[in-house]
Amino acid sequence: MTKQAVNTNDNVVIQVQNATKAYTIWSSPAARLHGPLLGQVGQMPFLPPSARNLCNRLSHESFRSFHALRNISFSVRQGESVGIIGRNGSGKSTLLQILAGTLAPTGGLVSVNGKVAALLELGSGFNMEFTGRENVEMYSTVLGLSREEIRDKFAEIEAFADIGDFIEQPLKTYSSGMVLRLAFAVQAVVNPDILIVDEAFSVGDEAFQRKCYARIHALQERGGTFLFVSHSAGAVIELCQRAILLEAGELLIDGPPKLVVAKYHKLLFAPAESRAAICQEIRDLNHKGATHMQDLLSVAPAAAAPAKSKAVEEDFHDPGLVPKSTVAYPSRGALIENPQICRSDGRVVNVLTRGEEYIYRYVVKFTEPQRAVRFGMLIKTVSGYELGGATSHTRASSLESVAAGSTVTVEFPFRCSLAPGVYFLNAGVLGSIESEEVFLHRLIDVAMFRVQPEDGLLATAVVDFGIDPRISFRRQGPSLLETQNSQIAYQ
């Protein structure tokens, strides 16, 4: 492996070509000693061929190779944010360690151009006997800061970490969350060209997570590159422009986060006997390329709406508003059918009016008896960000049993408090198999709806909180504002 600066004429800052990482797994502690010796003996030319063959065979039987990564290839351009997802043991952390330079690949080429800051595991690079201040100084030096730069930035690091007087205490007295705060504070404040984060945010509280996300957004706005491993699908979709799915050390797909996350979830919850077929399905999609993936995510155009009779359209059903990105999990004894949004009078609609009440409804047919059953729904943006959802029961109050042949109608009433735009719906049914809660069936992006535009709407962003703006000012004499708006309160 060669690690070097890449040619940045096309703004590529990370280039990975056929990267492989293999580990030798010895059959026993003794094999670690005699295996290599037998291999050397098997190369001695003065021994008879039968003896050499025996030594070589015994040497090979004493170990096996485990491939954490298999011929991984991709590139990242300056300013891109890439999420890396996959099941446990898929090679995510190994890949990030290679990119950070803390691990060398067995084969292939990995080229990185720019100052890299990596938060790979809790407390990585810290000495638990040193104080927080001493660790900041030591770690900042490793990242390339001079003594003057460390002194200038220390107050900012201390404020970001927000651990109070513990900054002067040994790290062995810290909680895991405090270690994370200090580690991320150093990484964030040094303003790297490339920031690599491996599932670190789950340790911090919500307020600190928000601070981390804000710092990442600032990195993105100034053109920095961000690589992120996480099991949080929402975080990957929100923070990343691309996502890479790894499975057993293989890169299955590199594409839009929303689509890649959907395929990851399908693989994650599939029965073991179905995974090989699903992996091949994902490989085939990856081979079709980015254009085909974008076509799957495209939003169908709305049909012509009825003529306006007032400032806001009446809700209606648009037959062309059908998602192209639906992903169905394998059925495990239940089937979800006929998902739709209805008015209270039963009229089916998918072009909604802000502020009105609706019902998201679907039918579940059970082909096998099930236990501990509950149902769920989720509303997402076009980018796949999860806005909100609900389950029919808690795990403690789930339906004790449902007989085979049963048909259940599930309804989720909701108020449309969303800004004009297009949104997607999931549907799922959960049950207990061998004391583990699993999806009996799940449909991702099974339906979509549009919230129609509205003249004079003051709400911004995605969710309408029903804010009623008010302003007031002290009268300073006649003004143009006074003649234009009589709703203003004067003091």
| Annotation: CATH topology of 327-451 | Coagulation Factor XIII; Chain A, domain 1 (2.70.50)
Q: Say if residue 66's pLDDT is above 90.
A: no
Domain-wise residue ranges, the chain: 8-70, 79-292, 327-451
CA 397 – CA 418 distance, rounded (Å):
30
Map residue 231 onto helix, strand or coil. coil
CA 287 – CA 309 distance, rounded (Å):
49
The pLDDT, as a whole number, for residue 160 is 85
Mean pLDDT of the chain: 84
Neighbour-count burial for 59-88, b at 16+ CB within 10 Å, e otherwise: beebbeeebbbbebebbbebbbbbbbbbbe
203 vs 460: which has the higher pLDDT: 460
The region of weakest confidence among 3-7, 62-66, 167-171, 454-458 is 3-7
Count CA atoms within 13 Å of residue 414 on its CB side.
20
pLDDT digits (tens, 9 = 90+) for 204-258: 666 677 777 778 888 888 899 999 988 777 788 888 999 999 999 999 999 998 8
Q: Say if residue 486's pLDDT is above 50.
A: no
pLDDT band at 38 (very low <50, low <70, confident <90, very high): low
The pLDDT, as a whole number, for residue 434 is 92
> Which of 464, 323, 457 has the alpha carbon at shortest distance from 382?
323
The region of weakest confidence among 159-168, 243-252, 284-293 is 284-293
Which DSSP state fits 79? T
The pLDDT, as a whole number, for residue 122 is 57
Average pLDDT over residues 108-136: 84
Q: Say if residue 319's pLDDT is above 70.
A: yes
Contact predicate 430/441, CB 8 Å: no
Q: Give the global pTM.
A: 0.73
pLDDT digits (tens, 9 = 90+) for 355-391: 999 999 999 999 999 999 999 999 998 878 889 999 9
3.40.47.10, 3.40.50.300, 3.30.870.10, 3.50.30.50: which CATH number matches 79-292? 3.40.50.300
